[in-house]
Amino acid sequence: MADLLPQLAIALPAAGGLDPRALFAEAAALPKDAPIWLEIGFGSGEHLAWQAERNPAVGFLGSEVFENGVARLLGHVAAQGLANIRVFPDDARLLLDALAPASLDRVFLLFPDPWPKARHAARRFVSGANLDRLALLLRPGSELRMASDDPGQVRWMLEQTSRHPAFVWLAEGPRDWRERPADWPATRYEEKALAEGRAGSFLRFRRV
């Protein structure tokens, strides 16, 4: 971790918008106009690494505040030889505020802390302010993917995001949110939830 993290860590600029493609300038295999995908709170990093391995022409940003999660992701990066991941080991909101407008092509928010108690609802990541941030950063036509195994959190995500004018829910029937798409692998947390009898819901929104 001490050797690899400094090579992959995202340094925020003192001022001005950060073009995420500039973070991959030394990754010769990545096109200059490569799509950029961001995972907020990547946990142990298995989803992020899976996506990066199967989408080598995409640049991936991952944000995670917990050191153990960052260390696990770096283990995946080293083991799989991934050159298209950059890491922000801090609060994702700091990164969102630094990125240039319309610089992201997909965002993942998978199984975030549901903060189930009513008095803690304000701590949930999905909020009007954060959706405003994401609306500014996502290109028109890009995708926001969210998942949770907590029914209250799922309702909250749907209510908050569906009422936001920049996003439209892509589900056309129950299977669209009850089943993961083929390009959406299970996370370690999801597998634990399933073992405990909690099924996940998978929500996809388009930036309009």
Residue from 91, 113, 132, 183 carrying the catalytic annotation:
113
Find where tokens 């947390």 sit. Answer: 189
Residue 184 CA to residue 143 CA, distance in Å, equals: 13
Residue 31 CA to residue 43 CA, distance in Å, equals: 28
Query: Which residue type occupies 53?
Result: E
Token code pair at residue 116:
């189930």
Token code pair at residue 185:
């692998």
Token code pair at residue 187:
């996370």
Instruction: List the beta bridge partners of residue 144.
Output: 107, 205
Residue 177 CA to residue 179 CA, distance in Å, equals: 6
Residue 23 CA to residue 85 CA, distance in Å, equals: 9
- From the list 82, 45, 81, 84, the residue with the least C-alpha distance to 63 is 45
Burial 32-48 (b: 16+ CB within 10 A, else e): eebbbbbbbbbbbbbbb
Region for residue 63 given its phi and psi (left: phi exceeds 0; alpha: psi -120 to 50; beta: otherwise): beta
| 132 is annotated as an active-site residue | no
Catalytic residues: 113
